[in-house]
Chains A and B, each alone.
Chain A
Amino acid sequence: GAVVSQHPSWVICKSGTSVKIECRSLDFQATTMFWYRQFPKQSLMLMATSNEGSKATYEQGVEKDKFLINHASLTLSTLTVTSAHPEDSSFYICSARFSSGAVYEQYFGPGTRLTVT
């Protein structure tokens, strides 16, 4: 299957600082990537859709100025959490869309655990 990596796998930062998370598709090109957030014992919550070469599309309730997304190449999307606060602590997961004919699948990265102190 297609492989997606994320870096870092975990990060601890102080309140008020910014953190950048990278998502890479390793063996395929992804014009579309997705960023999710997951709280303990809950399912995935879509935050935004990242489109290569254009602005990201944010879900309702997600602050675009706080969660900056850049998709500058066909294999890399980044999520920057700006001025992080403890309530931003969460598990962030990216996925990349892979098309096989008319079927679209998403392959997920291993996730990034963010802890804001």
Chain B
Amino acid sequence: TQLLEQSPQFLSIQEGENLTVYCNSSSVFSSLQWYRQEPGEGPVLLVTVVTGGEVKKLKRLTFQFGDARKDSSLHITAAQPGDTGLYLCAAGAGSYQLTFGKGTKLSVIP
């Protein structure tokens, strides 16, 4: 069973601060996705990374896939209250099911 460890589990920061959350595993993945879930809603796909070392930017969010394709990070610049939510990473080693991390619960305080 492939495990994805996300850290930190909880993060509470002030509006305007920067933050980084991590997703780590001992397994190699063919692709990795980041989702954001707000309370009472389904997760929304933010990005998919597939190449080792790949960096993708989505406005104030920067996603990086590790060179060995075992880990990933999500960096948010100048966090805003609208960034509040549960951030989940998910990865696939083959092409079928995704393995999900337990998530990082982010609270951005105005």
Contact = CB atoms under 8 A, between A and B. Distances in A.
A12 to B, nearest CB: 15
A43 B96 contact: no
Contact of A104 (B41, B95, B102, B103): B95
Nearest to A32: B96
Interface in B46-73: 48, 50
Interface string B85-102: 010101010011110111
Contacts of A44: 43, 88, 100
A110 interface: yes
- Interface residue tally on A, bucketed by range: 20 to 34
Given A43-B103, A104-B31, A1 B45 contact: yes
Contacts of B48: 103, 105
Nearest to B95: A104
Interface class of chain A by DSSP? strand
B84 interface: no
Contacts of A109: 42
Interface of B: 30-31, 33, 35, 40-45, 48, 50, 86, 88, 90, 92, 95-98, 100-103, 105
25 contacts: A4-B42, A41-B105, A43-B86, A43-B100, A44-B43, A46-B97, A49-B97, A93-B42, A93-B43, A95-B42, A99-B95, A102-B95, A103-B30, A104-B31, A104-B92, A104-B95, A104-B96, A105-B45, A107-B45, A108-B35, A108-B43, A108-B45, A110-B41, A111-B42, A113-B40
